[in-house]
Chain A
Amino acid sequence: RKEVEQDPGPFNVPEGATVAFNCTYSNSASQSFFWYRQDCRKEPKLLMSVYSSGNEDGRFTAQLNRASQYISLLIRDSKLSDSATYLCVVNTISRSGGSYIPTFGRGTSLIVHP
């Protein structure tokens, strides 16, 4: 089983739709979680951190479920400009305990069409 798994998609949705992505992780000791957005041939850009209590930023809501070991991203009222690849990142403390090792999922492709 991969450490961090994402459905690669693509998710093809019309403008205005609500879409949700999940990201599962295998290491229960994972400490921190993030969602990044990556446009074609560009670098990843931070979208939001993910907290146990859940957090919202405008149309975007992120949730963490530690019991089931997954994080989710919900996008409401999709815009054409939301078309991108969404990457989840899971940080796990290293064996030596001195640092965090970040593990990215392969990303989920979202295509929003008119």
Chain B
Amino acid sequence: DAGVTQSPTHLIKTRGQHVTLRCSPISGHKSVSWYQQVLGQGPQFIFQYYEKEERGRGNFPDRFSARQFPNYSSELNVNALLLGDSALYLCASGQGPQETQYFGPGTRLLVL
């Protein structure tokens, strides 16, 4: 079975632009979470979605938004990019919001 997939793998943007990152969960998983990981730190929780509803939100500004589609895939949107948004963005899926999460390979975003 395929694991969590994310696209694109790498992305370069300039300040002020917006970006959309995509995630497809493991087949049968209905929960998707998004994380931001900067070098030398652990992943920081951004959002969790379950059954297309937001179930949890981390301490990120409103420039960050997400949604989950009927097929349980998800998008993370970031508006008005800042240099500090440069990071690895990880998506994780699970069978439910409290279940074990499995991570995708991530999208590396560089903001210039």
A complexed with B: yes
Whether B43 lies near A99 (C-beta < 8 A) is: no
Interface size class of B (residues with CB under 8 A): 20 to 34
Question: A113: CB under 8 A from chain B?
Answer: no
- Tell me the A64-114 residues at the B interface (CB within 8 Å): 87, 91, 94, 98-107
| Cα–Cα, bound, A4→B44 (Å) | 12
User: In the complex the two chains form, is A107's CB within 8 Å of B42's CB?
Assistant: yes
Docked complex Cα distance between A87 and B42 (Å): 7
Contacts of A101 in B (CB 8 A): 45, 56, 58
Chain B residues within 8 Å of A, Cβ to Cβ: 33, 35, 40-45, 48, 50, 55-56, 58, 90, 97-98, 100-106
Q: Which 8 A-B pairs have the closest CB atoms?
A: A104-B42, A99-B55, A99-B56, A43-B103, A106-B42, A104-B43, A106-B41, A44-B103
